[in-house]
Amino acid sequence: MSTSSETRETTRTDTADAGTTTATGTAVRGTRLTLRAATLGRPDAAALADVDLDVRPGGILTVVGPSGCGKSTLLRTLAGLLPALSGAVEQDGRPIGGPAADRALVFQEDALLPWRTLLANVELPLAIQGSPRAERRKQAVAWLERVGLADRARQLPHRVSGGQRQRAQLARALAAGPRAVLMDEPFGALDAQTRAGMQDLLVEVLHGTGATVVFVTHDVDEALFLGDRVALLGAGRLVAVRDVPRPRDRAAHDDPARVALRRDVLTSLSI
pLDDT tens for each residue of 5-27: 333 333 333 333 434 444 444 44
Of 50-54, 56-60, 267-271, the least confident: 267-271
Q: Is the pLDDT of residue 4 over 80?
A: no
pLDDT of residue 18: 37
Give the CATH architecture of domain 1-15+57-83+180-271.
Answer: 3-Layer(aba) Sandwich (3.40)
Dihedral in degrees, nearest 10, Cα atoms 119, 125, 131, 133? 20
pLDDT tier at 134, thresholds 50, 70, 90? very high
pLDDT, tens digit (0-9, with 9 covering 90-100), for 201-227: 898 888 778 899 999 998 888 999 999
Q: How far apart are CA 32 and CA 55, in angstroms?
A: 6
Burial of 187 (C-beta count, 10 Å sphere; 0-12/13-18/19+): buried
Mean pLDDT of the chain: 85
pLDDT of residue 28: 52
pLDDT tier at 129, thresholds 50, 70, 90? confident
Q: 3-class secondary structure for the chain?
A: CCHHHHHHHHHHHHHHHHCEECCCCCEECCCCEEEEEEEEEECCEEEEEEEEEEECCCCEEEEECCCCCCHHHHHHHHHCCCCCCEEEEEECCEECCCCCCCEEEECCCCCCCCCCCHHHHHHHHHHHCCCCHHHHHHHHHHHHHHCCCHHHCCCCHHHCCHHHHHHHHHHHHHHCCCCEEEEECCCCCCCHHHHHHHHHHHHHHHCCCCCEEEEEECCHHHHHHHCCEEEEEECCEEEEEEECCCCCCCCCCCCHHHHHHHHHHHHHHCC
Q: What angle do CA 249, 184, 244 make, to 5 degrees?
A: 30
pLDDT of residue 245: 84
Helices 162-175/192-206 angle, 10° precision: 20
Average pLDDT over residues 118-132: 93
Average pLDDT over residues 105-120: 90
Q: How far apart are CA 74 and CA 138, in angstroms?
A: 35
pLDDT, tens digit (0-9, with 9 covering 90-100), for 163-183: 999 999 999 999 988 999 999
Full-model pTM: 0.84
Delimit the domains of the chain by residue range: 1-15+57-83+180-271, 112-176
Average pLDDT over residues 237-260: 82
pLDDT of residue 7: 35
pLDDT tier at 60, thresholds 50, 70, 90? very high
pLDDT tier at 87, thresholds 50, 70, 90? very high
- C-alpha dist (Å) from residue 134 to 113, 199, 255: 21, 31, 49
Cis upstream peptide for 57 (omega within 30°): no
